[in-house]
A = this chain, B = another copy of it.
Amino acid sequence: MPITIADVAAHAGVSKTTVSRVLNGKGELNAATAARVRQVIAELGYVPSAGAVGLARGRTQIVGMLVPSLTWPWIGQVLQGVIDVVEAEGFGLLLFTCDRGEESLRRFAKQVSAKSFDGLLVIEPEGTLDYITELHEAGLPVVLIDDRGHRPLFPSVATTDRSGGESAAQHLLELGRHRPVVITGPESFGCTQERLAGFADTYAANGHPLFPDQIVVGDFTFEQGRAAVTAMLSTGMTFDAVFAQNDLSATGVLLALREAGIRVPEEVAVVGFDDVPLASYSDPALTTVHQPLREMGDAAARMLLAHFKGVPLPNAASVLPTHLVVRDSSLIRTQLQPDPR
């Protein structure tokens, strides 16, 4: 029922080879025959079967993407960047998740072996790096979208976590905040370490080294950010700024401060990290380090697609810069414009 290349060939009175050639623009062909074939293709609404083409060519025109979860807000941003370029190039995007279970990794491995896609984009699910490295070494084109600190010798796109931490510190120092507190992400994440190092080094370089009690290991959740601040306040500890390493925990920090009757930013300034939509909707709106998430997805996809066209994959991270977005949680509003409160 569905029409095939054989139908087109028959209708146009040529061989399948010729049809294939006009389809792919390969080889010299008589302008008139080409036009006739194109005509028939249009009339019949013929589209080559992706599966057959893939089998014959040994390439699927599909890029695989492995992510840890689809419910984290920032992943959607990266995905959107990826899919925009993948679709524009006529490729398909096959999506996989791995929730770190044995089972889910096995299922994914099977798809790899089945050659379901030509190359892989990955936001690394925890604990899968060894496997991904293996795939890469076995010859599968892989590009890592890295939120955990840069991997040397691996094609990846990353962001400037360290200088993001620095810019947060710089901003708070300029505001005269000398007694900040940091609420980090999970200790094992590279990004956590980078953001902390950039922040702490900047404070140290400016004569205000951080003491251990100013650093709380967190887990990137709203609840933990809130609880950490509440706990610190209950010990009587004082601070004039909080650098939370993601926006979600920063939002928890804002709530804890309000619950304690502490004014933001007058008494305590708050800076987050990510710049997810939530950061604009919190009250006060959150000053935060913007991660170029969409651009990272975009860059990773371009890198992979370029590789399919012969451009070698760079064996190093391509780094896209973060930048600080200043909002009301750190900057005291001037009263030039009438404030309805």
Residues of chain A touching chain B, judged by Cβ–Cβ distance below 8 Å, are 2, 45, 47-55, 60, 62, 69-73, 75-77, 79-80, 83-84, 87, 90, 92-97, 104, 107, 110-111, 113-116, 222, 230, 248, 251-252, 254-255, 258-261, 277-278, 280-283, 340-341
Oligomer copy total? 2
Q: Which one of B87, B93, B116 lies within 8 Å of A50 (CB-CB)?
A: B116
Q: Which one of B52, B83, B283 lies within 8 Å of A55 (CB-CB)?
A: B52
Q: How many angstroms from the CA of A235 to the CA of B201 in the assembled complex? A: 53
B69 touches A80 (CB 8 A): yes
Contacts of A97 in B (CB 8 A): 80, 83-84, 87
Q: How many angstroms from the CA of A153 to the CA of B87 in the assembled complex? A: 31
Looking at the assembled complex, report how far the CB atom of A313 sits from the nearest CB atom of chain B, in whole angstroms. 20
A222 touches B49 (CB 8 A): no
B281 touches A251 (CB 8 A): yes
The answer to whether A104 and B87 touch (CB under 8 A), given A52-B55, A55-B52, A95-B93, is yes
From A47, A69, A261, name the one whose CB has the most chain B CB atoms within 10 angstroms.
A47
Q: How many angstroms from the CA of A340 to the CA of B234 in the assembled complex? A: 11
Q: How many angstroms from the CA of A52 to the CA of B116 in the assembled complex? A: 10
B278 touches A281 (CB 8 A): yes
Q: Which one of B47, B110, B222 lies within 8 Å of A110 (CB-CB)?
A: B47
The answer to whether A87 and B76 touch (CB under 8 A), given A50-B111, A340-B259, is no
25 contacts between A and B (CB under 8 A): A2-B115, A45-B113, A49-B114, A49-B115, A50-B111, A50-B114, A51-B51, A51-B55, A55-B55, A62-B94, A70-B77, A71-B76, A72-B76, A73-B76, A76-B76, A84-B97, A87-B97, A92-B94, A93-B94, A93-B96, A94-B94, A255-B281, A259-B340, A261-B340, A283-B283
